[in-house]
């Protein structure tokens, strides 16, 4: 039987690895063997909250708070459980006891506001958030929650004022959805439509408001974004989780996301946010559980399935991922994104012909291409080039540049391909020089310029450019190989052989290995015979 110390150490390791599910299991096992150990208790509590075992964690939270009533996460856990039990007064008292520092500076006022509202104190609810208006980055969040509370309190004028302020100062999907729904319910659909259109324009083609546009066409009145206290407090935790995730405070963002789902289990945005956080922690199996839990009636169900397909692929369940994307493509013939993602997945697996076919289906569904579709043509061009269909590839690259002329990746890929085939060398040089000006620190693009200079027999210039490319991308086999060739051409034989050996050590394509080995044995036979470095 494992000892408490053994389980504790294993649990600590699991926690450091962000495997909170295993950490919770191991640490609770250790705690069963050593029930009075406060260190194990704290560690087990944290792991249980982070893994979503909130109800069980609350039992430990009570013990932790008895010894330290200022423990923030323990108190927040109990606040969440109090709200679920409708013990709003008790929850409010816990907030008063918590120290006002760190994230509590922002969390406590927002939660306190909702607890005041729960107790019929709408004016005190607004006053509780006054200090947040002094913090520029939180003023928009404060206005959002003032608006949500005032709407529920039956004060549409105050709700309108607060939500309008939030929408003017905050580029946030939740603010736009809250104010847009308020406008729709207030018989102001034209204003709602403009609000949605402005957001989509700034978000560069975001489809996050598709369901809202569709609803506007029907004239059906939407539900409020938040309809009760539990949902309001879940919104607080969700908003702050998103803020923390952007600031890379991943552990705390994860905990706040768990609190949001405890208060509002059917909360698709929180499920997707939490899934993304778990993916960032390499907990992809747990992320899949959250994506699968998204309600099929939610507008986010589609994007959750797209995320699930990517996650399956990352878990090396590529056949399952492909099947999912194919199914989605069959379900909605008006959508092309499953096909582009399928093409990307197949291309990454070097199934280039199938990738090109998938991209072509996407192009058919789009119909008339605009400048935003350059990347689709670029991706299909790569698939065509890799599957030895150069005329089609060249046509796609040229079409992509016609749609969006200053795309460095397209300029580079087409220019490099021409150079590699000994075609249009002067034109290719000009294109790659443009690409380098646009992305001067991209090692692959700098390599392309070095290689075109090599093909134009400017070996000194090629060596200089390729030296920079190797500095930018030291672990790329092809770039090191190219630098070796340039060194040999200028008579720097020892350095050339060093670069070729390095290229072999960097796992080059199998087809390139015999070529590099031959150069190591014989050099470049039509190059100088004497080392210029003496």
* Beta carbons of 359 and 341 less than 8 angstroms apart: no
Give the CATH number for residue 191: 1.25.40.10
| Nearest alpha carbon to residue 380 among 365, 369, 396 | 396
Find the largest Cα–Cα distance for the chain.
92
Determine the Cα–Cα distance for residues 146 and 159; give it in Å rounded to an integer. 7
Q: Looking at the structure, do residues 206 and 110 belong to the same domain, yes or no? A: yes
Q: Looking at the structure, do residues 59 and 9 belong to the same domain, yes or no? A: yes
pLDDT of the chain along its 534 residues, tens only?
Answer: 467 788 888 888 888 888 888 888 988 888 888 888 888 889 989 999 999 999 999 999 999 888 676 788 999 999 999 999 999 999 999 998 888 788 888 999 999 999 999 999 999 999 999 999 888 889 999 999 999 999 999 999 999 999 999 999 888 899 999 999 999 999 999 999 999 999 988 875 567 888 899 999 999 999 999 999 999 999 999 999 999 988 778 899 999 999 999 999 999 999 999 999 999 999 999 999 999 999 999 989 999 999 999 999 999 999 999 999 999 999 999 899 999 999 999 999 999 999 999 999 999 999 999 999 999 999 999 999 999 999 999 999 999 999 999 999 999 999 999 988 888 988 999 999 999 999 999 999 999 999 999 998 999 999 999 999 999 999 999 999 999 999 999 999 999 999 999 999 999 989 999 999 999 999 997 755 444 443
Q: What is the DSSP string of 274-291?
A: HHHHHHHTT-HHHHHHHH
In a domain, 413, yes or no: no
Determine the Cα–Cα distance for residues 222 and 151; give it in Å rounded to an integer. 14
In a domain, 52, yes or no: yes
Q: Looking at the structure, do residues 1 and 40 belong to the same domain, yes or no? A: yes
Q: Looking at the structure, do residues 92 and 106 belong to the same domain, yes or no? A: no
pLDDT confidence of residue 206: 65
In a domain, 258, yes or no: no
Determine the Cα–Cα distance for residues 245 and 299; give it in Å rounded to an integer. 23
In a domain, 299, yes or no: no
In a domain, 20, yes or no: yes
Cα-Cα end-to-end distance for the chain: 70
DSSP state of 155: -
In a domain, 260, yes or no: no
Q: Looking at the structure, do residues 124 and 54 belong to the same domain, yes or no? A: no
Q: Looking at the structure, do residues 105 and 92 belong to the same domain, yes or no? A: no
Total number of residues shown for the chain: 534
Q: Looking at the structure, do residues 105 and 217 belong to the same domain, yes or no? A: yes
Per the listing, tokens 């729960």 go with 118
Determine the Cα–Cα distance for residues 412 and 425; give it in Å rounded to an integer. 13
Ramachandran class of 508: left when φ > 0, alpha when ψ lies in -120 to 50, beta otherwise = beta
Q: Looking at the structure, do residues 87 and 108 belong to the same domain, yes or no? A: no
pLDDT confidence of residue 534: 32
Structure tokens at 129: 């958030």
Query: What burial class does residue 157 get, using C-beta atoms within 10 Å of its C-beta: 0-12 exposed, 13-18 middle, 19+ buried?
Result: exposed
* Beta carbons of 301 and 282 less than 8 angstroms apart: no
Angle between helices 352-366 and 374-386 in degrees, nearest 10: 150
Determine the Cα–Cα distance for residues 86 and 212; give it in Å rounded to an integer. 32
Residue where a domain terminates, one of 202, 227, 252: 227
Q: Looking at the structure, do residues 87 and 122 belong to the same domain, yes or no? A: no
Q: Looking at the structure, do residues 149 and 92 belong to the same domain, yes or no? A: no
Residue where a domain terminates, one of 196, 227, 258: 227
In a domain, 248, yes or no: no
Q: Is 296 helix (H, G, I), strand (E, B) or coil?
A: coil
Determine the Cα–Cα distance for residues 444 and 456; give it in Å rounded to an integer. 18
* Beta carbons of 301 and 294 less than 8 angstroms apart: yes
Query: What burial class does residue 205 get, using C-beta atoms within 10 Å of its C-beta: 0-12 exposed, 13-18 middle, 19+ buried?
Result: exposed
How far is residue 196 from each of residues 74, 300, 506, measured CA to CA in Å?
39, 17, 50
| Nearest alpha carbon to residue 443 among 418, 408, 406 | 408
Ramachandran class of 473: left when φ > 0, alpha when ψ lies in -120 to 50, beta otherwise = beta
Residue where a domain terminates, one of 66, 96, 126: 96
Q: Domain tally for the chain?
A: 3
Q: How many CA atoms lie within 13 A of 107 on its CB side?
A: 31
DSSP state of 222: P
Q: Looking at the structure, do residues 104 and 222 belong to the same domain, yes or no? A: yes
Structure tokens at 209: 């408001």
pTM: 0.85
Domain extent for 132? 100-227
Determine the Cα–Cα distance for residues 108 and 131; give it in Å rounded to an integer. 11
Q: Looking at the structure, do residues 81 and 104 belong to the same domain, yes or no? A: no
Q: Is 297 helix (H, G, I), strand (E, B) or coil?
A: coil
Those residues with Cβ within 8 angstroms of residue 2's Cβ, 6 or more apart along the chain or in another chain: 10, 29
Determine the Cα–Cα distance for residues 326 and 311; give it in Å rounded to an integer. 15
**Torsion, CA 255, CA 260, CA 266, CA 269, rounded to 10:** -80
How far is residue 197 from each of residues 44, 216, 356, measured CA to CA in Å?
47, 12, 33
Structure tokens at 346: 């197949």
pLDDT confidence of residue 128: 94
In a domain, 342, yes or no: no
CB burial string 276-296: b at 16+ within 10 A, e below: bbbbebebbebbbebbebbee
């Amino acid at each position: 039987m494992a000892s408490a110390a053994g389980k504790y150490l294993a649990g600590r390791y699991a926690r450091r690895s962000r495997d909170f599910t295993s950490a919770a299991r191991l640490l609770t096992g250790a705690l069963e063997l050593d029930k009075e150990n406060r260190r194990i208790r704290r560690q087990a509590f944290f792991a249980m909250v982070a893994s979503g075992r909130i109800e069980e964690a609350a039992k430990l939270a009570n013990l932790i708070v008895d010894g330290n009533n200022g423990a923030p996460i323990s108190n927040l856990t109990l606040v969440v459980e109090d709200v679920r039990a409708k013990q709003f007064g008790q929850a409010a008292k816990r907030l008063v006891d918590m120290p006002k520092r760190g994230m509590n500076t922002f969390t406590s006022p927002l939660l306190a506001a909702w607890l005041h509202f729960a107790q019929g104190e709408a004016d005190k609810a607004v006053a509780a958030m006054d200090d947040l208006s002094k913090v520029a980055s939180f003023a928009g969040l404060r206005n959002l929650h003032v608006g949500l509370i005032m709407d529920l309190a039956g004060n549409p004028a105050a709700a309108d004022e607060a939500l309008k302020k939030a929408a003017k100062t905050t580029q946030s999907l939740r603010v736009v959805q809250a104010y847009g729904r308020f406008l729709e319910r207030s018989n102001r659909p034209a204003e709602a439509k403009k609000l949605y259109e402005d957001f989509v324009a700034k978000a560069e083609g975001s489809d996050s408001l598709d369901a809202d546009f569709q609803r506007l066409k029907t004239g059906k009145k939407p539900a409020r974004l938040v309809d009760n206290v539990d949902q309001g407090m879940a919104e607080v935790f969700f908003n702050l989780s998103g803020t923390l995730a952007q600031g890379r405070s991943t552990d705390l963002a994860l905990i706040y996301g768990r609190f949001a789902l405890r208060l509002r289990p059917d909360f698709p945005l929180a499920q997707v946010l939490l899934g993304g956080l778990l993916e960032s922690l390499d907990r992809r199996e747990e992320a899949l559980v959250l994506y699968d839990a998204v309600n099929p009636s939610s507008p986010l169900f589609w994007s959750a399935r797209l995320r699930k397909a990517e996650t399956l692929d990352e878990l090396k369940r590529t056949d399952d991922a492909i099947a999912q994307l194919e199914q989605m493509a069959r379900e909605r013939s008006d959508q092309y994104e499953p096909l582009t993602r399928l093409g990307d997945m197949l291309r990454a697996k070097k199934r280039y012909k199938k990738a090109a076919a998938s991209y072509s289906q996407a192009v058919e569904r789009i119909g008339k291409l605009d400048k935003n579709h350059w990347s689709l043509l670029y991706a299909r061009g790569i698939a065509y080039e890799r599957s030895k269909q150069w005329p089609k590839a060249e046509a796609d690259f040229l079409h992509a540049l016609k749609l969006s002329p200053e795309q460095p990746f397209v300029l580079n890929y087409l220019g490099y391909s021409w150079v590699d085939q000994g075609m249009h060398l002067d034109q290719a040089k000009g294109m790659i020089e443009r690409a380098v000006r646009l992305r001067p620190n991209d090692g692959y693009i700098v390599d392309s310029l070095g290689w075109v200079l090599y093909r134009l027999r400017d070996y000194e210039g090629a060596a200089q450019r390729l030296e920079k490319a190797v500095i930018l991308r030291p672990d790329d086999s092809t770039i090191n190989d190219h630098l070796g060739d340039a060194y040999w051409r200028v008579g720097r034989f020892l350095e050339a052989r060093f670069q070729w050996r390095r290229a072999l050590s960097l796992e080059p394509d199998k087809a390139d290995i015999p070529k590099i080995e031959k150069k190591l044995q014989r050099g470049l036979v039509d190059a100088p015979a004497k080392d210029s470095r003496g």
